Amino acid sequence: MQFSPEIYQGLIPAVFSPMFPNGSLNLDLIKPLVEYLLSEKVGGFYVCGSTGEGPSLTCEERQAVAQAYVESAAGRKPVIIQVGHDSLREAGRLAEHALSIGADALAAVPPVYYKSASLKGLMEGLKEISSAAPQLPLFYYHIPRLTGAEVDVVELLRLGQEQLPQLLGVKFSAPEVDVFQECVELFQGKFACFFGRDEMLLSGLMAGATAAVGSTYNFAASLYHRIFLAFQTGDMVTARKAQREAMDMVRILLKFRGQPAFKACMQLLGLECGPCRLPLESLSAAEFAELKAKLQALKYFREKETHPEN
């Protein structure tokens, strides 16, 4: 079985699961979100990950969100569905559904309550998920800050190369750029390695990334496109300046608890993605006003106001 890592390029936003004020899903907003992101020249869609609040949704809700994104993308860019679950049976059910609706690939975060005691155990879990949809490639979602799974990703890919032909790569959402570079260089052409730290994108590009998955690409894609273009043309002064803008933005967003602030940014763009699911707390009106003022002081958001078509 052959899967092609080359089709995954550029900025791939980890998309939202939009909600109404009462917390129910607002599936009708997904098509406008997809059209907006396509106009921002994204390279694909990563669905039901951390930004999509996948762990806080029921399996039925995750299936509904996945189907809405696949239908809205309509084959124009690849759609990756994150199916990880503490129950591998449920993860397999989500994988089977992703296959049935025409998704392009799967991703899976490992179980976080009962953690795998070994790399062998983790690989057996990935095999079980993949067996439910063996026609789809699978990405391992490495985000130890949230999962507590301190996995040797290099060894995971090496083991996957031998035992799991569906494994196509990793979404690497950790700060160890040296490990990411090792993954890229050891398995070049065999695996797609997505860099997953927006505030460090330039470092990821220096380490060999050709694709990146992130939250802030939903509302700041043009800023990150500048980083990509400047890096590709060897203009490191411009690349570093743009990366500094991204760092300043992310620093502000993290002070407002990350995910609630990300959704607030979409509201600033006129794409109301609604509240967060508990236990995440949405921003209060006062917090939203403070965040808006801080973001409007940044060069990127000033440019968005001056050139709303960007």
Please confirm, yes or no, whether 113 is among the known catalytic residues: no
* Residue 300 annotated in active site: no
Interior CA angle at 203 toward 200 and 208, to 5°? 125
CB 25 within 8 A of CB 61: yes
Closest by Cα among 65, 58, 52 to 26: 65
- Asked if residue 202 lies in contact with residue 225, where contact means CB atoms within 8 angstroms, the answer is no
Q: Taking the CB of residue 188, how many other CB atoms lie within 10 A of it?
A: 11
Burial class, 133, CB count within 10 angstroms (exposed 0-12 / middle 13-18 / buried 19+): buried
2: helix, coil or strand? coil
C-alpha distances (whole Å) from 63 to each of 97, 175, 263 are: 7, 31, 21
Query: Which of these is catalytic: 171, 263, 294, 304?
Result: 171
Which 3 state secondary structure label does DSSP give 213?
A: strand
Q: Of 46, 141, 217, 300, which residue is the catalytic one?
A: 141
Positions annotated as catalytic residues are 141, 171
